Amino acid sequence: MDSNVLLIVNTRKTIPEGAVTSLLNVLFERGVGIFAFDSASEVIKRSEGSGKVVLIGENEFPENVSFAVVFGGDGSIIRAASLLCRRDVPMVGVNFGAVGYLAELECEDIPEIGRILDGDFQLDVRMMLDAEIRGSDGSSKATLTALNDIVLSNGPVAKLLSFDLLCDGVRLRNYRADGVIAATATGSTAYSLSAGGPILDPSLSAVCVTPICPHSLESRPTVLNGDSVIELNSIQCQKNSVFVTADGREGVKLESGDTLKISRSALTTRLIRLKSSGFLEVLRNKLSGPES
| Whether the predicted pLDDT of 208 surpasses 70 | yes
pLDDT digit string (tens) for 238-268?
777 899 999 998 789 999 899 999 999 999 9
Which structural domain, as residue segments, surrounds residue 107? 4-121+274-287
Verify whether residue 74 is a known catalytic residue: yes
Residues 79, 202 within the same domain = no
**Dihedral sign computed on CA atoms, order 133, 135, 137, 143:** negative
Asked, for residue 142, whether it belongs to a domain, the answer is: yes
Residues in the chain: 292
pLDDT band at 286 (very low <50, low <70, confident <90, very high): low
pLDDT band at 290 (very low <50, low <70, confident <90, very high): very low
Q: How many independent structural domains does the chain possess?
A: 2
Beta strands in the chain (DSSP E): 4-9, 33-37, 54-56, 65-72, 91-95, 122-134, 140-146, 149-154, 161-167, 170-177, 179-184, 206-212, 222-225, 230-236, 242-246, 249-253, 259-273
User: Per the residue annotation, which of 74, 149, 178, 247 is the catalytic one?
Assistant: 74
| Chain centre distance of CA 37 | 20
CATH number of the domain that residue 15 is part of? 3.40.50.10330
Q: In terms of Cα–Cα distance, which of 131, 81, 82 is closest to 102?
A: 81
Q: What is the pTM of this model?
A: 0.91
Q: In terms of Cα–Cα distance, which of 260, 262, 263 is closest to 234?
A: 260
Asked, for residue 91, whether it belongs to a domain, the answer is: yes
Instruction: For the chain, give the mean pLDDT.
Output: 90
Residues 159, 58 within the same domain = no
pLDDT digit string (tens) for 121-179?
999 999 999 999 999 999 999 999 999 999 999 876 667 899 999 999 999 999 999 99
Tell me, what's the pLDDT at 291? Answer: 45
